[in-house]
Amino acid sequence: MKNKRAAGILAVAASLSLVLAGCASTTDSAEETTAETTAAETATEEAAEEVAEECTEPILIGSAMAQTGFMSPFDVPALDTARIAIDATNAAGGVLGCQLELIEVDGETDPDKGAQIATDLIDQGAQLMLVTCDYDINAKASQVAQDAGVLVIAPCVGDTIMGPDAGLTLGFSLGSAVPGEAAIMAEWAFKEFGPKASLFKDMSIKYTQNQCKVFEERWTQLGGEIVSAPEFSQTPEGSLAAPVTAQVKEIKDSNPDVVALCSYPGGGAEAAAALRAGGVETPVVSGFGMDGAFWLGAVPDLSDFYFVTYASVFGDDPNPKVSELLAAYKGLTGNDAATSGLVTGASSIEAFALAAEQAGSTNGADLAAALEAFDNVDLTAGPTSFSPELHVNVTRPMAVMQVQDGAHSFIEYRAAEQPILN
């Protein structure tokens, strides 16, 4: 009898948690999925019409980027612009005379799922793998591509670890990495607001940890002072792991000129809301992680919030390439871009196409060698450079944005005067 009861308890507990797990992974937006399906069909049809004669089969590009899960707000738009760039490339004659064809499977922000998809797509002949924009999530999928000798690009990873440091000689990111991004945050905030900064550190992922680390280093280099640095973390589902009341109080008591928030939504949005609710009215500076208006529901009428990101998606970006891409994006999906990380998706395809033409092949090692020779190559994401040591950009100019009364506007493009590389 005891055994039966034990089994019963087990069963209830296990089924409950599976239901919870199920709910957690269903947080996708039906709209986005539909839009993507239509887009994929259009892309395939166009590709079929224009197959170049000397090419027997198209060049396959595999995507294991996340269409659901906490990375989907970053991945979905980047994948959409990759699709736009693929269509544009195909219309202009393709790469090495071949049309590009995208095969995509939802990586679900799940490292194991990503690795399985990468295995499958490379088995089907993918010459380029696009993986999710967080190194911790894509590490396994990237490793699969690396082992198979296939170029792997995480369009918007902002961490220099994506590349040779982690053993990924074939791994690149078209993102602007934290050593540049957080240095810009520090340089700009120091100039605008003065010497006393609080760090509000989200310890959940490496991106946010490095962001505050770089900020702190650059800030002290500039002669600034860090007056407090409380930490918090969020769950894999993207909400605060615990209330941050005490941390907010610590920041408030230290009386900073500016708060550097190293985080991303939803926990980052909750943290921003907690700051304002806790009476911290000082300017807050953040990075690409807090780009976009989709999380503002958590902090209505937010003001004095600044962030450094790729470009402005709010219609006021001075770069015509960006405006063009945003218009194409709206045409494709019917939506305005949520965050400017999407420029990296198009740039990934642009970089792949250029590298393939220069290398004369789609072999992973040849492509990597061609990419490593990039020196301020003009892509939609801005001037792009790689080196044998660094497969992510740190010197590219980035947009400084502001939020006042819940509305976003562009301030300026700025490059880091002194990126902090360790």
Contact residues toward another protein (CB under 8 A) are 2-11, 13-19, 21-28, 30, 33, 67-68, 105-106, 108, 111-112, 115-117, 119-120, 122-123, 135-136, 139-140, 143-144, 147, 161, 165-168, 203-206, 209, 233, 236, 422
Q: If you ran DSSP here, which 8-state letter would residue 234 be given? A: B
Nearest residue (CB) to another protein, 107 versus 382: 107
Alpha helix positions (H), 203-340 = 206-221, 245-254, 267-277, 320-333
Minimum distance from residue 404 beta carbon to another protein (Å): 33
Nearest residue (CB) to another protein, 134 versus 270: 134
Phi, psi of 106 (to 5 degrees): -70, 115
Instruction: Please give the Cα distance from 166 to 20 (Å, whole number).
Output: 34
Strand duo 151-154 + 171-173: pairing: parallel
Give one DSSP letter per residue of 259-295, joined into a string: EEEE--TTHHHHHHHHHHHTT--S-EEE-GGG-SSTT
In 10 A of CB 30, how many CB atoms? 7
Nearest residue (CB) to another protein, 119 versus 303: 119
Assign 95 to helix, strand or coil: strand
Nearest residue (CB) to another protein, 7 versus 327: 7
Minimum distance from residue 114 beta carbon to another protein (Å): 10
Instruction: Please give the Cα distance from 170 to 153 (Å, whole number).
Output: 8
Which tokens in the block code for residue 228?
A: 């407090």
Instruction: Please give the Cα distance from 131 to 152 (Å, whole number).
Output: 7
Please list the residues that pair with 382 across neighbouring strands. Answer: 379
Instruction: Please give the Cα distance from 360 to 356 (Å, whole number).
Output: 6
Minimum distance from residue 78 beta carbon to another protein (Å): 19
Which tokens in the block code for residue 183?
A: 């240095």
Minimum distance from residue 131 beta carbon to another protein (Å): 13
- How do the residues of the chain divide into helix, strand and coil, expressed in percent and rounded to 5? 45, 20, 35
Minimum distance from residue 143 beta carbon to another protein (Å): 4
Nearest residue (CB) to another protein, 5 versus 320: 5
Nearest C-alpha neighbor of 214 from the set 142, 270, 285: 285
Nearest residue (CB) to another protein, 2 versus 54: 2
> Using an 8 Å Cβ cutoff, are 58 and 322 in contact?
no
Q: How many residues in total does the chain contain?
A: 422
Minimum distance from residue 14 beta carbon to another protein (Å): 5
Minimum distance from residue 33 beta carbon to another protein (Å): 7
Minimum distance from residue 369 beta carbon to another protein (Å): 21
Instruction: Please give the Cα distance from 202 to 65 (Å, whole number).
Output: 23
Classify residue 88 by burial, with Cβ atoms within 10 Å: 0-12, 13-18, 19+.
middle
Nearest residue (CB) to another protein, 45 versus 112: 112
> Using an 8 Å Cβ cutoff, are 157 and 138 in contact?
yes
Minimum distance from residue 295 beta carbon to another protein (Å): 21
Nearest residue (CB) to another protein, 237 versus 304: 237
Minimum distance from residue 41 beta carbon to another protein (Å): 13
Minimum distance from residue 8 beta carbon to another protein (Å): 8
Nearest residue (CB) to another protein, 136 versus 304: 136
Instruction: Please give the Cα distance from 344 to 12 (Å, whole number).
Output: 45
The residue assigned the tokens 């550190």 is 201
Nearest residue (CB) to another protein, 36 versus 350: 36
Nearest C-alpha neighbor of 214 from the set 182, 176, 185: 182
Nearest residue (CB) to another protein, 5 versus 223: 5
